[in-house]
Amino acid sequence: MTQAPAAPMAARRRHDREIVALAVPAFGALVAEPLFVMADSAIVGHLGTAQLAGLGVASALLMTAVGVFVFLAYATTAAVARRVGAGDLRAAIRQGMDGIWLALLIGAAVIAVALPTAPSLMELFGASHTAAPYATTYLRISAFGIPAMLVVLAATGVLRGLQDTKTPLYVAVGGFVANAVLNVVLVYGADLGIAGSAWGTVIAQCGMAAVYLFVVIRGARKHGASLRPDATGIRACAQAGAPLLVRTLSLRAILLIATAVAARLGDADMAAHQIILSLWSLLAFALDAIAIAGQAIIGRYLGADDAQGAREACRRMVQWGLVTGVVLGLLVIAARSLFLPLFSSDSGVQDAAVPALVMVALAQPICGIVFVLDGVLMGAGDGAYLAWAMLLTLAVFAPVALLVPLLGGGLTTLWGAMTLMMAMRMLTLWLRSRSGRWIVTGATR
């Protein structure tokens, strides 16, 4: 009788080791990504206000253009992990190559759009007449690095699917260091100004893509996988990624609506919202790392026809997400008096931010569950459900958020609507996880 819990305890320890081994390096790689923009901002900022403003507009457009195609990483992770679970490494890497070829095709299309429309895009997004020329220069040069950025996304998905999150961490750190050095050399040493910053980023991104391609190609040769583009495989990758694209666009629409509403609440509330949104994004990295582990682990279990293992892993990861969310929420409350002065000395901004920060802290346990279940369903290849669930969440959030200024609500009320949005996501994801319909075993879904 006393030995009965041994097996469940051993299973939990095994899941814990897998989660930590994948999530910790993934967190490091995720944190390294925004450091590219921070390094560019720090270096370009010393050129002048107009240059920094131009960089701000151009980099926001660039990150949006790349961010909407994050499905290249997510869908590839799930598909590759399934084949790893099925024991077919050759097919796993072949699947990854299809994702990489799709990334190159999308990258070429984005370049074709970005180059001629750059000035119009700057005007559309409100760049001032002094900042617009710098923004246009930065965007046009940086556009040449978009295929490399998308290849990095797809190749990262390949390695995550192969249960390797350490290599993406090493590449991300190396890319950040190279980007910082190249920016200093080209901006100041070569006196290229903002163009030097753009070229430095392009070269760093191309270097990262080259390293990833070397790793994937070496694996392809080892296991006899073809490197040639396959129209059927590329089309299958695009079809698998389409629902995740809908999910991502819906989520970005939610964030844009929240920012638009905050702007209507006044300058102090808008400034406080920007601070809180930055913190919310930082907290998301920690939770997203567990979600990434979930994508890789769940895909592998389902590919190995181990439905019970997938259920147990899901259950354990939800526990991890909940506990992590509680810890992050407590940290936010404890550090709020230290955090806010780093961004603003304006007492009006700080007064607006404090109650909203408490709302963010209270929402973190919900966020922890949401991120984990999102990762689980991605790992299961359940993209269609994720798309419909996010569209439903957008439909609920939009009218609630738009009513905030009309009913005299403030920033705290807006972040209450954001918490409602996360609760809605949690409900839809929990119902799906409980139904078991996401559990489809085999090398393909």
User: What pLDDT is stored for residue 4 in this prediction?
Assistant: 43
pLDDT at 3 over 80: no
| HSE-up (13 A, CA, CB side) for residue 324 | 25
Question: Tokens in use for 58?
Answer: 């151009």
Average pLDDT, the chain: 91
Nearest to 433 by CA among 312, 340, 330: 312
Nearest to 421 by CA among 370, 375, 348: 370
Mean pLDDT of 405-429: 94
Ranges 16-20, 92-96, 219-223, 343-347: which has the least confidence? 343-347
User: What pLDDT is stored for residue 259 in this prediction?
Assistant: 83
Burial of 8 (0-12, 13-18, 19+ CB in 10 A): exposed
pLDDT tens digits along 354-367: 899 999 999 999 99
- Whether residue 135 contacts residue 122, with contact meaning beta carbons closer than 8 Å, is answered with yes
Residue carrying structure tokens 């305890």: 9
Higher-pLDDT residue of 105 and 38 is: 105
Long-range CB contacts for residues 314-318, cutoff 8 Å, separation at least 24:
314/373, 314/376, 314/433, 316/12, 316/15, 316/16, 316/19, 317/15, 317/19, 317/290, 317/293, 317/372, 317/375, 317/376, 318/369, 318/372, 318/373, 318/433
User: What pLDDT is stored for residue 7 in this prediction?
Assistant: 54
User: What pLDDT is stored for residue 1 in this prediction?
Assistant: 38
- Give the helix ranges, DSSP H, for 224-266: 231-263
User: What pLDDT is stored for residue 348 in this prediction?
Assistant: 82
User: What pLDDT is stored for residue 27 in this prediction?
Assistant: 87
d(CA 104, CA 233): 14
Mean pLDDT of 35-59: 82
**pLDDT band at residue 2 under the 50/70/90 scheme:** very low
- Give the helix ranges, DSSP H, for 266-409: 267-303, 307-339, 347-379, 383-406
pLDDT tens digits along 150-199: 999 999 999 999 999 999 999 999 999 999 999 999 999 999 999 999 99
Mean pLDDT of 309-331: 95
pLDDT tens digits along 53-74: 888 888 878 888 888 999 999 9
Find the farthest-apart pair of alpha carbons in the chain and give their distance in angstroms, rounded: 77
Ranges 99-113, 189-203, 277-291: which has the least confidence? 277-291
Residue 303 C-alpha from the chain's centroid: 24
What are the distances in angstroms from CA 161 to CA 80, 84, 93, 379?
A: 5, 7, 9, 9
User: What pLDDT is stored for residue 163 in this prediction?
Assistant: 95
Higher-pLDDT residue of 273 and 326 is: 326
d(CA 389, CA 427): 10
Question: Tokens in use for 196?
Answer: 């030097």
CA dihedral (308, 314, 320, 326) in degrees, to 10, reads: -130
pLDDT at 337 over 90: no
User: What pLDDT is stored for residue 161 in this prediction?
Assistant: 96
Burial of 341 (0-12, 13-18, 19+ CB in 10 A): exposed
pLDDT at 234 over 60: yes
User: What pLDDT is stored for residue 262 in this prediction?
Assistant: 87
**pLDDT band at residue 50 under the 50/70/90 scheme:** confident
User: What pLDDT is stored for residue 423 in this prediction?
Assistant: 97
pLDDT at 368 over 90: yes
User: What pLDDT is stored for residue 223 in this prediction?
Assistant: 94
Ranges 23-37, 69-83, 126-140: which has the least confidence? 23-37
